[in-house]
Structure 1
Amino acid sequence: MLSYRHGFHAGNFADVLKHSVLTLVLDYMTRKEKGFSYIDSHSGAGMYQLEDKFSQKTGEYKDGIGKIIKDINAPESLMTYLNLIKQLNHDDELNIYPGSPGIAKEFVRRQDASHLFELHPTDNELLNNFCYRWKKSFIKQSDGYQGVLGLVPPPTRRGVVLIDPPYELKEDYPKAVNTIIKAYKKFATGTYILWYPVVQRHWVEQMQQTFTQSEVKNVLQVEYCQKADSEEYGMTGTGLFVVNPPWQLAAQLEEILPYLKSKLGNEESTYALTQLIAE
């Protein structure tokens, strides 16, 4: 299935959590001069126009990034992400929103490399256009899961891997976790970020169980839910598993999560931050 287009959802509450974490991880990686590889298994188009028919049809960004972009009192931990979005827009209007490649492009240096995978033919074309002048970015229209496994360990032995599937297929839940487990066996010091939606809680519980039964160490789980769990169709929350997180990430998220609840959520909203597996 290749029906999923992230343009419908760009800048929503799930993107706010995912991309704020990605921003903090990439910022940490650039504090050392030695190069690193950024590997993105499901890259999307790279950049999204919030005025196009996809974003306007759902308007999800209005209840996500749109609610916090101008907040000068946001926690310090969130400002790197918010400032990045502001700089990309160049004015007071929120017209564009970056996907994960768009965020990575703002951080990677000449000594770093980016490997981007996207199967959807239209988004792959848009991604190629977005990366046209981006040196050391490599785009492939191929299976991102296999792509990740073929690229670890990177030459510099420093890397960030983002696995962010659309979860159109139920197989994506176990496949995403097992890809990280396999990659970890080859490259145990890499940082892995796995995004997931909360649609039906049992899928998240299965992912947790698979991780805890594996040999993977140092897994931080963060989750923000707009609504209580439901068996009905639709995403009620979002979360991330972060393997080998930067040492200060947990403390940064302790600032970000209550802020997101206060600005984006309601009385039903909840958040959780758990060291799922110790170092």
Structure 2
Amino acid sequence: MNYRHSYHAGNSADVVKHSLLIALVRTLQLKQGALTLIDTHAGCGLYDLGGEQAQRTGEATHGVLRALADVHPLLDDYRAAVQAVNAGADAGRLYPGSPQILVELLRPQDVLILNEKHPEDARALRGAMRGTVAAVHERDAYELWLAMLPTRTSRGMVVVDPPYEQTDERDRITATLAAAHRKWAHGVTVIWYPLKDRATHEQWKYKLRRLGIPKFLAVEHWLYDADQPGIYNGAGLFIVNPPYAFTQALPPLLEALRAALAPEGHRGEIIADWLNS
């Protein structure tokens, strides 16, 4: 299989995002009922950290490689997910995207629906998912998001992880989330976002608060002790309807992630806060 290269695969944002996704799915699976997992911006599924692009940025050095070297037991599930795709390869060379992590978590009764609009990436995703039960679509992410709701199973989770290359990305997320919540008020939704410009981000959070979604959690990982203008300052997840057991177990997991990923000379911070509290 030809693995795709990525500038950013395995960075600190991936470590936090994938650690929390694993924890969420594990919590939802405490009940035996079937789950439907939907990834709207699935990407390629599997990435080569030894490629020129990844080597040029060195982001994995400050992300996945730190987590792999950390001994905190709360990161065991994340490390196991990375190690699972590296059998027969150089340790830590391959990095699992969200689809690969989700497919490894599936129980026989669960369903996984993946979507990737870009044809080249969709072909790579189909190759990565060959031999699994995952269904792969090649559609507009926001159209698919709404079309798949409500899920055929009584419980489910939607993961929205766009590249934020389009200027209207946040507006599309806001509008689609509002429509999705009307169709599927009890479902779990996870939305990833980068933290660059604090003012723009606060404006978006204000718009999201106005949707009036009752259980709306924001988990934000700020890498530095003060904002660094014009650069990537971290990333976060909006989580709609997080399970109670997940939120109760969240503080020690976030502290373990903060300690593992803090840049040299910075303590960093991971904040979990309800938008509509």
TM-score (norm 2): 0.91
Show the counterpart of 2:70.
71
Deviation at 1:99, TM superposition (A): 0.5
1:190 aligns with 2:190: no
Deviations 1:195-224 (A, max 9, x none): 100111123212211221113110111111
Show the counterpart of 2:8.
9
CA distance, structure 1, for counterparts of residue 59 and residue 43 of structure 2: 17
Deviation at 1:112, TM superposition (A): 1.7
CA distance, structure 2, for counterparts of residue 272 and residue 30 of structure 1: 25
Q: Structure 1 pair 261/110, CA: closer, same or farther in 2 (3 Å)?
A: closer
Q: Structure 1 pair 126/187, CA: closer, same or farther in 2 (3 Å)?
A: same
1:248 is paired with a residue of what secondary structure?
Answer: helix
Show the counterpart of 1:258.
255
Deviation at 1:251, TM superposition (A): 3.5
CA distance, structure 2, for counterparts of residue 105 and residue 60 of structure 1: 25
Show the counterpart of 1:220.
217
Identity %: 33
Residues 74-223 of structure 1: matches in 2 within 5 Å?
74-76=72-74, 78-90=75-87, 93-135=91-133, 137-223=134-220
More displaced 10-residue stretch of structure 1: 99-108 or 254-263: 254-263
Q: Structure 1 pair 18/170, CA: closer, same or farther in 2 (3 Å)?
A: same
Show the counterpart of 1:267.
266
Counterpart residue identity of residue 33, structure 1: Q
Counterpart residue identity of residue 177, structure 2: I
Deviations 1:23-43 (A, max 9, x none): 111112222222111111100
CA distance, structure 2, for counterparts of residue 196 and residue 124 of structure 1: 22
1:222 is paired with a residue of what secondary structure?
Answer: strand
Deviation at 1:52, TM superposition (A): 1.9
CA distance, structure 2, for counterparts of residue 63 and residue 112 of structure 1: 33
CA distance, structure 2, for counterparts of residue 21 and residue 84 of structure 1: 12
Deviation at 1:268, TM superposition (A): 6.0
- After TM superposition, what 4+ stretches of structure 1 lie above 4 angstroms from structure 2? none
CA distance, structure 2, for counterparts of residue 268 and residue 211 of structure 1: 29
Q: Structure 1 pair 151/201, CA: closer, same or farther in 2 (3 Å)?
A: same
Deviations 1:160-204 (A, max 9, x none): 100110001221112213222211110011100011001111232
1:39 is paired with a residue of what secondary structure?
Answer: strand
CA distance, structure 2, for counterparts of residue 94 and residue 134 of structure 1: 23
Deviation at 1:140, TM superposition (A): 1.6
Deviation at 1:230, TM superposition (A): 4.1
Counterpart residue identity of residue 129, structure 1: G
- Specify every segment of 5 or more residues in structure 2 that has no aligned partner in the other structure, as ranges: none
1:40 aligns with 2:39: yes
CA distance, structure 2, for counterparts of residue 150 and residue 126 of structure 1: 24
Counterpart residue identity of residue 28, structure 1: T
CA distance, structure 1, for counterparts of residue 182 and residue 139 of structure 2: 22
Asked if the contact 1:30–1:108 (Cα under 8 Å) also holds between the matched residues in 2, the reply is no
Counterpart residue identity of residue 60, structure 1: E
User: What RMSD over aligned residues (CA atoms) do the two structures have, in Å?
Assistant: 1.9
CA distance, structure 1, for counterparts of residue 111 and residue 196 of structure 2: 34
- Specify every segment of 5 or more residues in structure 1 that has no aligned partner in the other structure, as ranges: none
Q: How many residues align?
A: 270
